[in-house]
Amino acid sequence: MDAQLKKGLLEICVLKAIEREESYGYKIISDLAPCIEISESTLYPILRRLEANGAVTTRTAAHNGRLRKYFRITGVGKRKLSEFIEGMKEFQTISEFIIRGIL
């Protein structure tokens, strides 16, 4: 898969993983594991970029004597996710044409 396409998909997957409730790094990786492989070294730059773009917010809380950073999707992130899903409908039509020659 094209690296840029995968990068964009990873951002959307991360947003989807935290859409219903806030989460933290290890849980996000675990939640995504059934559909896509992502490492901590890939996840955290994505989360920082999403935070810088206003798509997620963070809070820090103690958990078992350690600080854990939690990520929550914002309205900006929800709009980005919604726009991606709408775009995927068009992409699905294009994919069907490329794969099967069907319009």
pLDDT tens by residue, the chain, 103 residues = 666 677 778 999 999 999 999 999 999 999 999 998 899 999 999 999 999 999 999 999 999 999 999 999 999 999 999 999 999 888 888 888 999 886 6
Quick one: 15 exposed, middle or buried, by C-beta within 10 A (0-12, 13-18, 19+)?
Answer: buried
Cβ partners under 8 Å of residue 17, min gap 6: 23, 28, 31, 32
Rounded Cα distance between 100 and 86, Å, is: 22
What pLDDT is stored for residue 89 in this prediction? 86
Q: Looking at residue 48, what is its pLDDT? A: 97
The third-level CATH classification (topology) of the domain covering 3-100 is Arc Repressor Mutant, subunit A (1.10.10)
Q: What are residue 69's DSSP bridge partners?
A: 60
Phi, psi of 32 (to 5 degrees): -85, -20
pTM to 2 decimals?
0.84
**How confident is the model at residue 61, as a pLDDT?**
94
Per-residue pLDDT at 1: 65
| The pair of three-digit structure tokens given for residue 65, joined into one six-digit string | 């004597």
Alpha-carbon distance of 85 to 46, in angstroms, equals 19
